[in-house]
Amino acid sequence: MGSVVIIGGTSGIGKELAQHYLDRGRSVVITGRDAERAGGVAAELAAAARATDNAEVPSAHGLAVDLSRPHYIAAALAGIGPVDRLVLVAIERDMNTIANYDIDKAVRLTTLKLVGYHAVVHALKSRLSPDSSVLLFGGVAKDHPYEGSTTVSTINAGVIGMMRTLAVELAPIRVNSLHTWMIEDSPFWRDKPETVKWAGSHTLTHRLPTSADVVDAAALLLDNPGLNAVGLRVDCGM
């Protein structure tokens, strides 16, 4: 069986998902921008997984891949073997508005998601098998713009188009996407409790998705053979 490759696996949901698969004895490759940091996080996750006393001892590797420099992606991924699950979750934050449009930030984030994600799939295509699956991360800002989401809303909507074209081009490999509302316990929101409270008040369940909720939904999309070309919202009924 091939490995689980998580592009953007050094923090947040990517890191939680890496732990999910390691805990189940699956070999994982995580990437971030810095090789040393990625290697350190991989070692930390593998040590935690071994502590759960799995029958199979999984391996975890960390690699440096910068999605904002797509021409270098194929070389950075050259050492990866067969891939069973491919997760594209990396993001850089951007608060753009049309009134104060920051072109450099917009180009960087748009390149990262809409070119970088494609370039990763292109580079790893020959290492996927018919039973492999791919998961792309977007967000509900595609449907619900907010002040500062000009680029984020645009790229998240783009992820739906990307999912559809990849599902056709890679068939029978399954390609799904997950679009979450603000994740309550995400490291990014840790120092912004008022924003988290405001966001939670806008759902029918009066709570926000947790990392555990999102990991559970991601694993379903990745592992359930009946799910293909699904753009799943995880938003607690926004």
Ligand X SMILES: NC(=O)c1ccc[n+]([C@@H]2O[C@H](COP(=O)([O-])OP(=O)(O)OC[C@H]3O[C@@H](n4cnc5c(N)ncnc54)[C@H](OP(=O)(O)O)[C@@H]3O)[C@@H](O)[C@H]2O)c1
Is 119 a binder of ligand X (CB under 6 A)?
A: no
The answer to whether 199 contacts ligand X (rule: CB under 6 A) is: no
Among 3, 4, 8, 150, binds ligand X (CB under 6 A): 8
Residue 91 engages ligand X in binding (rule: CB under 6 A): yes
Among 2, 14, 39, 58, binds ligand X (CB under 6 A): 14
Q: What are phi and psi of 39, to 5 degrees?
A: -65, -40
Select the residue whose beta carbon is closest to ligand X and give its number.
12
Say how far apart CA 163 and CA 138 lie, in whole Å: 10
Q: List helix spans (H) across the chain.
A: 12-23, 35-50, 73-76, 103-110, 117-124, 150-170, 193-200, 211-223
Q: In the chain, how long is the greatest CA-to-CA distance?
A: 56
Residue 214 CB, nearest approach to ligand X (Å): 8
Structure tokens at 112: 């990262």
Binds ligand X by CB under 6 A, chosen from 3, 4, 5, 12: 12
| Smallest distance, ligand X to C-beta of residue 19, A | 13
Question: Which of 54, 2, 59, 65 is closest to 32 using CA atoms?
Answer: 65
- 54 vs 95 by CB, closer to ligand X: 95
Question: Interface mask (CB under 6 A) for ligand X, residues 138-177, using x and -?
Answer: -x--------------------------------------
Q: Looking at 73, 183, 234, 236, which residue binds ligand X (CB under 6 A)?
A: 183
CB of residue 116 vs ligand X: minimum separation in angstroms? Answer: 7
Distances (CA, A) of 61 to 3, 68, 170, 202, 238: 10, 21, 26, 39, 37
> Quick one: 115 or 227, whose CB is closer to ligand X?
115
Q: Which stretch binds ligand X (CB under 6 A): 17-25, 31-39, 51-59, 98-106?
A: 31-39
Q: Which stretch binds ligand X (CB under 6 A): 18-26, 51-59, 63-71, 73-81?
A: 63-71
CB within 8 A of 117, min separation 6: which ones?
A: 7, 67, 88, 136, 159, 162
**Which residue in this structure is represented by tokens 């799995």?**
54
Spatial CA neighbour of 82 closest among 160, 157, 4: 4
* Phi, psi angle pair for 111, to nearest 5°: -65, -45
Residues near ligand X (CB under 6 A): 8-14, 32-34, 37, 65-68, 89-92, 112, 137, 139, 180, 182-183, 186-189
